[in-house]
Structure 1
Amino acid sequence: MKRLFVALMTASTLWTGIGMAQASVVIGGTRVVYPSEDREVSVQLQNAGDTPSLVQAWVDSGNPDVSPDESQAPFVIQPPISRIEPDQGQVLRISYTGAANLPNDRESVFWLNVLDVPPNPESMEGEAPQNFLQLAIRSRIKLFYRPEGLEGSARQAAEQVEWTLSGGNVLRAHNTSAYHVTMTQLTLANGINVPISAGEGMLEPNETRTFELPGNAHGSIRELRMTTINDYGARVEQDVTLSR
């Protein structure tokens, strides 16, 4: 598996033929929730293209550069490698191995990787061109391991984020819940968006994070509209009152 991963991720020969490979396998969802009481969870893949695809799947603990064999994430996937025909699907079965001593008072987050490898391109004569670019495209979504009996609920977690305004230009968010809260947008009452840098949109349980207000945010700032993503991948908006 490691050799396959490395070979696919480092292929870089030029294709001067008639097109370029594109990802065709899609994941049925934008996140995976693994309740600790379940023996396994299933993820549906679908090949929406018109050619077969070779798919490799694995879970990592947060480092996107770790190969499948080097990953220390306590999950196994069956099948780890599969061929999906055009307009066909494949079910991935993810099982928790119990190898890691995960906390039982809060969620833990991991990442599901799906590497989609298209077949070699063919020229107009039905043969692969001598020089081509083979693109293996990886999709990576969050996997939340959710212990049984956590206080509150994932649906109410966003409401448990405490917001304070300090120094007049810094927002501080503290997640008091046992669940991860993923934010996609923060908007002040006057319509100004607060920048969220890449990787800063997810608040872990009991995490505190700060956001600097843009220079054009002026006047009395008392309310904030927060947009989050729920377990089903839907965006949810709610108004938040700021404290000082």
Structure 2
Amino acid sequence: MHKKFKIMMAAVSLLSFSITADAAIALDRTRVIYTGNANSMSLTLSNDNAHNPYLAQSWLEDERGNKNNLPLVVTPALQRIEPSHRSMIRINPVSAAIGLPQDRESVFWLNVKEIPPKSERSNVMQIALQTRIKMFYRPTAIIPPKFSRWDDQLILTRTNKGYTVDNPTPYFMTIIAIRGADKDAGAKGFQSTMIAPKSSGHIDSEHFKEPHLTTINDFGGKPTLAFHCTGEICKAKKQ
């Protein structure tokens, strides 16, 4: 068979399939804060498909992708959700939670994978979509007053390629943008960076006279805070 004809046949074969990839299962939040004084925590899953039931598979992973022997578990691991209905998943601690650091947060990933019903049509390729969000375990000793902020404790130090960011707080800090003024466009090509508690990280960026950092807070909000620089060191302006 001629090579050109083979390619044409392959193209026709691919076109004979339809691909379905509409998301159906949705979580009620974009991040989870599990506090050490909670016996358990419930989250809502909804099936936004008005016609078909879906299976929802839920599990946790640590930073390395490990799923086994974790200090927290998700139940049920697998459930069926009817069309346009809601259901719940519950996060529960196990005895291993006692071994988590009590002076800072720990981070995990909450995964929810939707499994669609088998299609009644032929030549249909179905794709199982997966939601993956951060889950932070916050020990009782560091639970702050409601609506507190701690982005104002970050310290920036100018480097040749951007800034070193020192995070002296016991909380994970996710920086999603840096700019020269509150309403300016963010630095081009900026990569979102999560900095662990009581540690430092680096962000690649041009330098600004007064850097403005945008972070993500507990509620999924994106506050921006201005910093004042003295020499190479930049600290948050007092509010």
- When normalised by structure 2's length, the TM-score is 0.80
The count of corresponding residues between Structure 1 and Structure 2 is 213
1:1-244 matches, within 5 Å, as 16=16, 20-50=20-50, 51-64=52-65, 70-100=67-97, 101-123=99-121, 129=122, 131-150=123-142, 155-167=148-160, 169-189=161-181, 191=184, 193-194=186-187, 195-197=189-191, 200-214=192-206, 221-243=208-230, 244=232
Structure 1 alignment gaps of length 5 or more = 1-13, 124-128
- C-alpha change, 1:34 and 1:81, in structure 2 (3 Å) is same
- Counterparts of 2:71 and 2:175, CA distance in 1: 26
Q: Is the 8 A contact 2:167 2:199 kept in 1?
A: yes
Higher relative CO (Cα under 8 Å, sequence separation at least 6) belongs to 1
Structure 2 alignment gaps of length 5 or more = 1-13, 233-239
Structure 1 residues 70-113: Cα deviation after superposition (integer angstroms, max 9, x where no partner): 43422111211000011101111101113151100000000100
What is the Cα-based RMSD across aligned positions, in Å?
Answer: 2.3
Write the letter of the residue equivalent to 1:204. Answer: A
- When normalised by structure 1's length, the TM-score is 0.79
Write the letter of the residue equivalent to 1:115. Answer: K
Structure 1 residues 40-98: Cα deviation after superposition (integer angstroms, max 9, x where no partner): 0111111111211101000000245x5xxx43422111211000011101111101113
User: In terms of Rg, which structure is larger?
Assistant: 2
Q: Is the 8 A contact 1:165 1:242 kept in 2?
A: no
Residue 134 of structure 1, CA deviation: 2.4
Structure 1 residues 144-179: Cα deviation after superposition (integer angstroms, max 9, x where no partner): 000012285683221111112134x42111111011
Q: Percent identity?
A: 31
Q: Is the 8 A contact 1:108 1:144 kept in 2?
A: yes
Write the letter of the residue equivalent to 2:213. Answer: M
- Counterparts of 2:213 and 2:17, CA distance in 1: 47
Residue 183 of structure 1, CA deviation: 1.6
Q: Name the SS for the 2:212 alignment partner.
A: strand
Write the letter of the residue equivalent to 2:114. Answer: D
